[in-house]
Amino acid sequence: MIVLAFLVQALRIAVPYLFAAAGGVLCERSGVIALTLEGWMLTGAFSATLGSYYSGSAWAGLVCGVAGGLLAASLHALATVRYRADQVVVGIAANLLAVGATRFFLRLAFDSSSNSPRVSGFDWFAAVSGGGTSDGASLLSSLANPLVLLGMLSLPFVSWLLNGTPFGLRVRAVGERPDAAVSVGIHVGRVRWLAVLGAGALASLGGSYLALEQHQFTDSMTAGRGFIALAAVIFGNWEPRRVAVACALFAIAETLQIQLQGLQLIPSQFVEMIPYLLTIIALAGVVGRSVSPAALGRQVD
Amino acid sequence: MRRLIILAAALFAIHVGLLLVRPAGAEVGATSGAVNVGVVFDLGGRGDKSFNDGAYAGAERAVRELGAHVRFVEPGEGSDREAGLRVLAAEGMDLVIGVGFIFSDDLTQLAREYPNTRFAGVDYAVPTDSKGQPLALPPNLAALKFREEEGSFLVGALAALVSRSKTLGFVGGMDFPLIHKFEAGYRAGVRAVCADCTVIAQYAGVTPEAFRNPGKGLELALSQYQSGVDVIFQASGSTGLGVFEAARRRGKLAIGVDADQYGEAPGFILTSMVKGVDAAVFRTIEQVKGGTFRGGVFQLGLAEQGVDYVYDEHNRALIPDSVRARVEALRQDVIAGRITVPSTR
């Protein structure tokens, strides 16, 4: 039971990372730096809350969440792909914009600067069991969430997209050798647009999961998860399978931290460092040098 | 590039301009006769359902009852907090209030620069020298501090008396001394009424982000409830909303903080440890009006009604009369000095 509870908790923690990291892989393999994962998640979380609040349905919330993510991503693509702005600068600005814009609209829609009212989420199991609150019921109910299942499928989906479809081939070509891609008639801008939009949609699903699990939006609720997902992308060497392992690793570290904190075995500060420490180690090439997509961050004329 | 700089400059000018825009309904400028008060909110601002809203309520009451003129400034992220205070001080307000410990250094600085303006800091953190001795404050600065440990002491006792499993939980936001006060008081309260109870205390993180991470709060609380905890006290900002969500999901109890948080999860909130920010702000404005304002550090505890716990028609059903009587007896013990509540772990 304890092991099961541990695994389920790690899975719940991993879901937002998996979604955002899947978006991150797609985006970065096309040559666009995915610094805005955090902002897309936050936008997704907020628009999902809006949708769920006004429609009363979590599914409608999910649709709105993705729409919000697409909107934020299209702004990003407009700046970095269409107008060739510096991707890092745009990424930082877009994250700040997401924090400010969600706070502004939160105030506008719900007259609060901290949180929205309660909205409906995916409570399938509670609906079936009549709201069981035992340990077992609680474990099952957290698994009976479509977003948990989708989250587990997100990286396999991106893997298939990149390695099994013509579109994926183009994405990889554009991310590695854009000049060569142009020479065979691939429209680099268009491919990057689609990749960024796809990343925005995926990351916003991660944000929607957070908001619908919590049944409300709270200011800056993503709390750096987008950056951890980006760390997972780098640590996983931009390969979907290894990125999935990285996400699992980070989620397990966080679960361990939660479970062990009461025992005071390891300082919590240290466990919080793990994702970033591993990323630096990976970048420094201590264990298997990480090789980024060759054209990452490079503009193409 | 040049166009970009011009654009940035224009945006900055608009930004600074907007800082001076007065909110609708608020009085502006230094009007003679009435007391002129400026209030600068912490991050989160009005609508945070917590101490910013408390300060707002206290100031609004001063407008109604004392005829004070109050101006509110809500800074955004970053350094314009200091600018907000400075604008108000430069306008010759009688009293400038900074809400939140984050204003401590700015208030000290400005109080020295504007000796004729009175300043008050809610949750002001008194600076200490290298030996840990508190430094003297400027005479025109009042530090309004709350003895959160005393309120936490009472809710700790309450939680232990209501608990069936004799295992109590605590979820803090950022792992630092301000929140350790809550934990220390809570632990002492539990121990005062139940020697064989255990307290599991956890923190959401080591950065200010830890106050805005409900997902983490949810997971921390779920794992505590899983391990047998049946009441959790949260002192973690909006991270605590995740704790309430977990209480709702597991049918367990949680204790709110700062303001009455019953409405966040009706039926699952045992009580809330409330800080009387509204009363403190009102009283300070009253003192300025009556000419009795004094600088210095003011510790507002149970005796000063600076902290308390909620007991009203919503949660009466959750708290048996015998428990209530026991907790009230402890309150008298603390007020009379028979019990000293620790403020550090």
Q: Where are the domains of chain B?
A: 25-146+277-300, 148-274+311-335
- Angle formed by the axes of helices B239-250 and A188-214, nearest 10°: 60
- Angle formed by the axes of helices A240-261 and A2-29, nearest 10°: 140
The pLDDT, as a whole number, for residue A73 is 97
Enumerate chain A positions whose Cβ falls within 8 A of a Cβ in B.
5, 9, 12-13, 16, 96, 99-100, 107, 111-115, 131, 133, 135, 138, 141, 210, 213-216, 218-221, 223-225, 254-255, 258-259, 261-262, 268-269, 272
- The dotted CATH code for A2-284 is 1.10.3470
Measured between CA atoms, how close is A218 to chain B, in angstroms?
Answer: 7
For residue A136, the chain B residue with the least C-alpha distance is B226
| Secondary structure class of A195 (helix, strand, coil) | helix
B79: confidence class by pLDDT, cuts 50, 70, 90: low
- Burial pattern A63-97, b for ≥16 Cβ within 10 A else e, equals bbbbbbbbbbbbbbbebbbeeebebeebbebbbeb
The pLDDT, as a whole number, for residue B30 is 46
End-to-end CA distance of chain A: 57
Equal CATH topology for B25-146+277-300 and B148-274+311-335: yes
Q: Could you tell me if A51 and A60 are in contact, meaning their C-beta atoms sit under 8 angstroms apart? A: yes
pLDDT reading at A72 higher than 90 = yes
pLDDT tens-digit profile of A177-207?
A: 999 999 999 999 999 999 999 999 999 999 9
Pick the CATH number of B25-146+277-300 from 3.40.50.2300, 1.20.210.10, 3.40.1360.10, 2.30.22.10: 3.40.50.2300
Gyration radius from chain A CA atoms: 19
Domain-wise residue ranges, chain A = 2-284
Q: Could you tell me if A47 and A67 are in contact, meaning their C-beta atoms sit under 8 angstroms apart? A: yes
Measured between CA atoms, how close is B77 to chain A, in angstroms?
Answer: 9
Cα dihedral B170, B172, B175, B181, rounded to 10, equals -70
Task: Note the Cα A176 to chain centre separation in Å.
Answer: 23
B64: confidence class by pLDDT, cuts 50, 70, 90: very high
Higher pLDDT, A3 or A243: A243
In the A/B pair of chains, how many CB contacts fall below 8 A? 103
| Secondary structure class of B38 (helix, strand, coil) | strand
The pLDDT, as a whole number, for residue A264 is 63
| Secondary structure class of A89 (helix, strand, coil) | helix
Measured between CA atoms, how close is B93 to chain A, in angstroms?
Answer: 27
The pLDDT, as a whole number, for residue A287 is 58
pTM above 0.90, yes or no: no
The pLDDT, as a whole number, for residue A28 is 96
Out of B44, B224, B250, closest to residue A114 by CB: B44
Task: Report phi then psi at A289, rounded to 5.
Answer: -60, 135
pLDDT tens-digit profile of B105-157?
A: 899 999 999 999 999 999 888 888 777 788 888 999 999 999 999 999 999 99
Whether residue A214 and residue B241 make contact (CB cut-off 8 A), yes or no, is: yes
Q: In what order do the strands lie in the sheet with B253-258?
A: B198-205, B167-174, B231-235, B253-258, B269-275, B307-309
Whether residue A16 and residue B218 make contact (CB cut-off 8 A), yes or no, is: no
Q: What is the CATH T-level fold of the domain B148-274+311-335, as seen in this structure?
A: Rossmann fold (3.40.50)
Q: Residue type at B196?
A: D
The pLDDT, as a whole number, for residue B29 is 44
Q: In what order do the strands lie in the sheet with B296-300?
A: B69-73, B36-40, B95-99, B118-122, B141-146, B296-300
Task: Report phi then psi at B193, rounded to 5.
Answer: -110, -10
When pLDDT is averaged across residues A170-175 and rounded to a whole number, the result is 95
